[in-house]
Amino acid sequence: MHLAYAGVMDRVRSIICPRCERLVGPGETKCPHCGAWLPTVLGLSPDAMRWLRRLDLTRGILVASVALFVLSLLLDPGAMLRIRSLFDLFAPSSPALFKLGMTAGPLMTGGAWWTVFTAIFLHGSALHLLFNMLFLNRYMPAVIDLFGPVRAWVIYMVAGAIGFVLSNVATGSSTIGASGALFGMFAALIVYGRRTGQTAMTQQLWMSAIMMFAMGFFFPGINNWAHAGGFAGGFVTAEAMAFAGRREHAGVWVLAVAMLLVTLAGFVLSFVAFSRVFG
């Protein structure tokens, strides 16, 4: 009875090899069927991978964005008193934002390429943060449900980064914000609707994306280059992804973890580098 139970539990805890998609024991470091290394991805156990999938990605991004916004105000409290309009309400100063990882063309080409990731989590005013977090809370859960949290994270980060790369190349101006990544969420939902034949939903999302993009021409400080790049990056990345029903390929996990580590390290590198510049 004990042996039978142990056999069943081993099968339950088994993982699927990302190359041959056959069951592999939870303690294996090499697939016995096809020879693929690290079927558990970066040495993580199946239990650890299940725990990571259960993390609330939407809340994590929201908390990180709010915390960094508060920190950007604390780095230069005097900036809160320099209010020129409603759009500048509680607006961090440029030195504070550079210390936390704001991106710009000269920075990216000068070696601080990681700023295309760190800038996704920074915002230029209370309204900027509020609007982006409202859209995040509305659309990210749907992308997570359809693609899974690991793929959703990859789509979000790739879309945001490509948006900033396009903006940096086209204008070179300093820029921040999650809106490019959020346009990538729109694109991912459109990809899902198109691939599953949900024409009405796809058309509605196209209309929403076009209206939001058009609004960028009527409000000051809107980075339409980042929006366009984010949409394109999200569309291409989502096309390359499977949906939530399938286990993530090892490469998706590696990319997700790599972008997380680069972003965290980028905050530190930016703070160290620009603290020397601005004091």
What amino acid occupies position 192?
Y
pLDDT of residue 194 exceeding 80, the answer is yes
Q: Is the pLDDT of residue 10 over 50?
A: no
Q: In this structure, what DSSP letter does residue 119 have?
A: G
Q: Are residues 122 and 189 in the same domain?
A: yes
Q: For residue range 54-94, list pLDDT tens digits in order.
A: 678 999 999 999 999 999 999 998 887 776 666 677 899 99
Q: Is residue 29 part of a domain?
A: yes
Query: Whole domain around residue 202: which residue ranges?
Result: 55-278
Are residues 30 and 113 part of one domain?
no
Instruction: Flag whether 35 is in a domain.
Output: yes
DSSP per-residue letters across 68-92: HHHHHHHHSGGGGG---SGGGTTPP
Looking up tokens 């156990």, which residue turns up?
45
User: Which residues make Cβ contacts (< 8 Å) with residue 171, sequence separation at least 6?
Assistant: 105, 225
The overall average pLDDT reported for the chain is 85
Q: Look at the pTM and tell me if it is higher than 0.85.
A: no
User: Which residues on neighbouring strands pair with residue 16, listed in sequence order?
Assistant: 23
Q: What percent of the chain has pLDDT over 70?
A: 81
* Domains in the chain, number: 2
Reported confidence tier of residue 44, pLDDT bands at 50, 70, 90:
low
Q: How far apart are CA 79 and CA 236, in angstroms?
A: 39
Are 154 and 269 found together in one domain?
Answer: yes
Report yes or no on 47 lying in a domain. no
Report yes or no on 109 lying in a domain.
yes
- Whether residue 124 is found in the same domain as residue 246: yes
Do residues 37 and 147 both lie within one domain?
no
pLDDT at position 53, please?
61
In a domain, 104, yes or no: yes
* Cross-strand pairs, 37: 30
pLDDT digits (tens, 9 = 90+) for 206-247: 998 899 888 888 877 789 999 999 999 999 999 999 888 777
Residues 22 and 92 in one domain: no
Contact 273, 112 (CB under 8 A): yes
Answer yes or no: do 20 and 125 share one domain: no
Task: Give the pLDDT score at 244.
Answer: 81
Positive or negative, the CA dihedral 54, 55, 61, 66 is positive
Same domain, 228 and 252: yes
CATH number at residue 164: 1.20.1540.10
DSSP 3-state assignment of 126?
helix
